[in-house]
A and B are shown apart, each in its own frame.
Chain A
Amino acid sequence: MENKEAIIDFEGSISFETMEKLLNQLKSARQFNALRKPVRKRVYGTVVESIDNIFKYSAPVQGKLRILQRPPQIQVKEQEGKFVVSAGNLIQNDQVDDLRFKLNRINKMDDKALKSLYEEVINKETSDRDRGAGLGLITMALRTDENIRYHFDPAGPVHSYFTMHITIKE
Chain B
Amino acid sequence: MEKLTIEPTANSPLIVLDPEMKNFEFSGESRPENVRKFYLPVLEWLEAYTASQESLQDDQRTSGLQCLFNFEYFNSTSAKYILDIFKSLNALHLLGLDLKIKWLYEEDDEDMLEVGQEMSRMSKLTFEYIIS
Contact = CB atoms under 8 A, between A and B. Distances in A.
A130 B75 contact: no
B81 to A, nearest CB: 8
Contacts of A108: none
B111 A129 contact: no
A20 interface: yes
A122 interface: yes
B40 to A, nearest CB: 11
Interface in B77-111: 77, 79-81, 83, 106, 108-111
Q: By DSSP majority rule, is chain B's interface helix, strand, loop, or mixed? A: helix
Interface of B: 10-11, 31, 33-36, 73, 75-77, 79-81, 83, 106, 108-112, 118, 122
B75 A119 contact: no
A139 B76 contact: yes
Contacts of A48: 31, 73, 75
Contacts of B11: 20
A135 B80 contact: yes
Nearest to B83: A122
Given A122-B122, A130-B36, A49 B106 contact: no
Q: By DSSP majority rule, is chain A's interface helix, strand, loop, or mixed? A: helix
Interface in A52-79: 52
Which size bracket describes the interface of A in this complex?
20 to 34
A42 interface: yes
A45 B108 contact: no
Interface stretch (A33-41, A90-98, A99-107): A33-41
A115 interface: yes
Nearest to A17: B33
A115 B118 contact: yes
A4 B115 CA distance: 32
A36 B109 CA distance: 10
B122 A135 contact: no
8 contacts: A38-B110, A118-B118, A130-B36, A132-B77, A136-B76, A136-B77, A139-B76, A139-B79
Nearest to B81: A129
Contacts of A45: 73, 75
A44 interface: yes
Interface string A105-139: 00000000001001100110000011010011011
